[in-house]
Chain A
């Protein structure tokens, strides 16, 4: 929470047309400036930021220090590239602008973006540095682009001349795939001195660390923290639910295998089957709904090929997949559930029909059928009396007849 007035000196010389930073040096610089302006104005509500250009037709102050972020960002549009950078003049104009700041409590800071060669002598820069130090101005230098005529050395000397208490920094950013702003995020220029930086800086850094996707769920947690929290909580609940379902499915699959192998423990198997069977219509419905989901289909087909005996190995596969691809993992989970249900159904259909409560619940769910109807009850009773080897097709026909 440093209270600061900052002047940002932009290099808009011809050198900035170079494309060695994506998309070009000037665009990269503009992005970085936007980022820093945001960080500075958010770290303290009374912070002010101003912008000036060092090239073109001489040094030009675009915005005097203001806390209005919109004003700052607006001035960055339509900037023209041209001329050569005048570093000494730029820094001195910036110092003048800072000197006349409204709030004398603000610390003074100049941030210089230097992308073109520095024509000034090292001695001149050191003199300017001492002058800044005397006026209690801190200076950050972002050195990128050209590196001729000992530019890095000169800028180092400039910063060294005024550095007190480690308040001034210089960073060298070589051309590369990383955007200028991404590199800046992790530097003390962006995070501020000590204190781990502002909340904005931390959030931006976290977003950058998380990858290019930026914010979770496409919502900026800074703009709407409550929404972001709600989304995160519901995401976690959903994840927990899916995990529990997967666990249950695996258990059921294991139990069913047991039931199939040991026909003597029929009661247990039956109870399990009731569970599996009741969920069958729902899962079938979801199958139809997700018909267009090619990924799911593929996963289903794969899991159908597998025999239910290797459920355990498949589970480990799934956990591996989960770490790689969430979508795939989800599809796999669903398919495991489905396949265990599907596999159990044809073989155990006769057992299922033997269970009165299950059949009556099915009948109740059918339209136009009253399970309490005496004729239906009679039929059910007769069905139970029949042998368990009865063909499932016949049963289905009977049911259809009833309809």
Chain B
């Protein structure tokens, strides 16, 4: 089975991730590993994960995303999820998933501003 690698871009001290593929289980698991690896390699102080193109988050993907956020925090980096679609936010609440303690912003631009604020850069 083909595992799609989600690109992780470096911009100054931050890592930018824009998820633009259909998220299957293997792809999100691979992304989890890739991201912590990239944080370690680059010493990034913050990560933005943009979900603008994601039209569905089920409980498994939500769990993995929540884990990614916690792992990033454990590594000492700040993380912001951006671009969660209105329909996705509604279904997440239907599922009882609130992403407590996860910082979010409306879009990538606001996410970067928030990260700059959080990291003091």
Q: Do A and B bind each other?
A: no
Which residues of A pack against B, CB within 8 Å? none
